[in-house]
Amino acid sequence: MTGKPPKHVLVTGGAGYIGSVLTELLLERGYEVTILDRFFFGDTIADLRRSPRLHVLRDDIRWCGDGVMRGIDAVCDLAASRMTQPESWTPPRRWKSTTRGEPASAG
Ligand SMILES: NC(=O)c1ccc[n+]([C@@H]2O[C@H](COP(=O)([O-])OP(=O)(O)OC[C@H]3O[C@@H](n4cnc5c(N)ncnc54)[C@H](O)[C@@H]3O)[C@@H](O)[C@H]2O)c1
């Protein structure tokens, strides 16, 4: 880091419990923010959409492609599946839902 604060932050899971609060704080502090989220829990960021510095990508971190990183200075990686989501009930399934690969123990 050069000491200059990052200007454009990518928040994966930005529509989630923590991500939406973080996004609001970043916007308040003058950052440009891109949210990358599947929106499993609906449009939880309706209030934030008024900001011209907010960009929203409704996509999956597993197959969104490297293009999402274009122009990004920093990443806050908060996309995750909750234990209350059926796909998260076993560790291998939880792993698969938020990574591109699979754990060695997944059978
Ligand atoms: N909430 C807490 O108290 C807490 C405490 C400690 C750590 N954490 C960690 O912080 C992170 C975020 O937690 P949270 O409570 O905000 O979770 P959350 O479930 O509220 O939000 C996660 C978001 O990620 C999105 N998502 C899930 N899988 C995705 C995928 N494959 N591609 C794109 N988007 C996807 C969901 O749509 C959701 O909006 C998690 O890693 C969690 O373990 C949370």
**How high does pLDDT run on average in the chain?**
84
> Where does the pLDDT of residue 106 fall: very low under 50, low under 70, confident under 90, or very high at 90 and above?
very low
pLDDT tens figures, 57-67: 999 999 999 99
First to last CA, the chain: 41
CATH number at residue 37: 3.40.50.720
In a domain, 76, yes or no: yes
Q: How many domains does the chain have?
A: 1
Which residue of 10, 11, 12, 17 sits with most ligand 1 atoms within 8 Å of its CB, as the best mutation to test the pocket? 17
Percentage, residues of the chain above pLDDT 70: 72
Per the listing, tokens 């829990």 go with: 41
In a domain, 25, yes or no: yes
Ligand 1 within 6 A of 58 CB? no
In a domain, 3, yes or no: no
Is the whole-model pTM more than 0.75? yes
In a domain, 59, yes or no: yes
Ligand 1 within 6 A of 79 CB? yes
Encoded tokens for 70: 């274009």
Whole domain around residue 37: which residue ranges?
8-98
- How far does residue 98's CA lie from ligand 1's centre (Å)? 10
Q: Is the pLDDT of residue 104 over 60?
A: no
In a domain, 48, yes or no: yes
Q: 73 near 50, Cβ under 8 Å?
A: no
Q: In Å, what is the CA distance from 13 to each residue of 8, 16, 66, 83? A: 16, 5, 17, 15
